């Protein structure tokens, strides 16, 4: 989920904590819990400090150890310890448990979307994603806004008990629909190597990726109807350049962040562009999240870029800059 959603969840959990009589009967503890759930709900994303070392470092480490199972109690303890000096709380255990719930929900909800996490580190570096929530789900935000708007009239704990029960019911529906959709597509594409369903905001809409031995198929699946919008061959030109590019530190960091990066090579008068596109993210035929390497014709010079483009104009500007930087 995005940062705003995590903040909203933090406030929601702070309100839900009022169902706990130990919290609701202690105003100081209640305030500490609210601050703790907001902080805990965002704690795993404190790995943004990797951005200080550049985008490649962020791609390599974001949602890694910070979102792992061992990190959940660690973040909870650190957040609790950071809050205690500012409040004379009556029950540290209750403060810790509510912060623990906030940190846990952060990691769990990040696991539900297409980005996924390395939740099993340090035991495994495999990226896991359950693919049944969009990156930003407006239904969660609307439910929280509804809950906050009712706070002047009803008990906070009771309101958010119903809000969170509604959310988990919604999650169950999302999970069932996604698994059913993936099963139907797998039955249809029986020779596919992989079938990836990427949820959209609407409950019955998905983007899909079908990988076969020869190509990738991209399309959408809506209410039982399938559209294949475009395909491309898995044949790669200049395989030697592709292998060389994968060893570049920036490209390597990008490749470690996804199992769905695929290379494309374009030759120009001044050199070769190697594009590693993350196939999970696309707008029609444009893939905004990618790593790019430009290698001169004599193979003596190279420059690279990793990032997510917000427009074609930005993309073209970066391409031009890379091409002119080693002339």
Model pLDDT for residues 6-35, shown as the tens digit of each residue: 999 999 999 999 999 999 999 999 999 999
Does 157 share its domain with 65? yes
Q: Which of 148, 174, 200 is the last residue of a domain?
A: 174
Distance CA 193, CA 199 (A): 20
Does 226 share its domain with 258? no
What integer pLDDT is reported at residue 133 of this predicted model?
93
What integer pLDDT is reported at residue 327 of this predicted model?
62
Residue span of the structural domain in which 260 resides: 239-325
Q: Strand, helix or coil at 99?
A: helix
What integer pLDDT is reported at residue 49 of this predicted model?
78
Residues 105-136 have pLDDT tens digits of: 999 999 999 989 999 988 888 889 999 999 88
**Residue ranges for the chain with pLDDT beneath 50:** none
Does 63 share its domain with 195? no
Backbone phi and psi for residue 103, each to the nearest 5 degrees, phi listed first: -65, -45
Distance CA 263, CA 38 (A): 40
Does 11 share its domain with 113? yes
Q: Is residue 135 part of a domain?
A: yes
What is the pTM assigned to this prediction? 0.88
Q: Is residue 112 part of a domain?
A: yes
| Total of domains in the chain | 3
Does 169 share its domain with 23? yes
What integer pLDDT is reported at residue 50 of this predicted model?
76
Q: Strand, helix or coil at 25?
A: coil
């Amino acid at each position: 989920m995005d940062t705003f959603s995590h903040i909203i969840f933090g406030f929601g959990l702070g309100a839900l904590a009022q169902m706990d009589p130990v919290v609701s009967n202690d105003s100081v503890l209640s305030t500490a819990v609210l601050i703790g759930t907001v902080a805990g709900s965002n704690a795993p994303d404190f790995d943004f400090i990797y951005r200080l070392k550049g985008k490649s470092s962020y791609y390599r480490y974001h949602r890694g150890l910070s979102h792992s199972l061992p990190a959940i109690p660690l973040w909870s303890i650190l957040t609790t310890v950071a809050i205690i000096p500012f409040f004379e709380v009556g029950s540290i255990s209750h403060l810790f448990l509510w912060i623990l719930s906030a940190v846990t929900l952060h990691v769990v909800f990040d696991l539900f979307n297409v980005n996924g996490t390395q939740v099993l580190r340090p035991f495994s570096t495999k990226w896991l994603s359950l693919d049944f929530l969009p990156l930003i789900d407006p239904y969660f935000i609307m439910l929280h806004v509804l809950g906050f708007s009712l706070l002047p009239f009803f008990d906070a704990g009771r309101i958010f008990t119903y809000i969170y029960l509604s959310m988990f019911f919604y999650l169950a529906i999302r999970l069932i629909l996604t698994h059913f959709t993936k099963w139907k597509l797998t039955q249809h594409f029986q020779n596919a190597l992989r079938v990836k369903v990427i949820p959209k905001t609407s409950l019955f809409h998905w983007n899909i990726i079908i990988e076969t031995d020869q190509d990738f198929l991209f399309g959408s699946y809506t209410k039982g109807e399938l559209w294949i919008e475009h395909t491309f061959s898995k044949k790669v030109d200049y395989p030697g350049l592709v292998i060389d590019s994968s060893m570049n530190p920036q490209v390597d960091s990008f490749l470690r962040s996804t199992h769905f990066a695929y290379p494309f090579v374009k030759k120009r008068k001044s050199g070769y562009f190697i594009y590693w596109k993350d196939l999970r993210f696309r707008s029609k035929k444009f893939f905004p999240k990618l790593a790019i390497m430009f290698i001169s014709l004599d193979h003596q010079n190279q420059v690279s870029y990793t990032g997510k483009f917000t427009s074609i104009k930005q993309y073209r500007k970066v391409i031009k800059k890379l091409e002119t930087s080693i002339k």
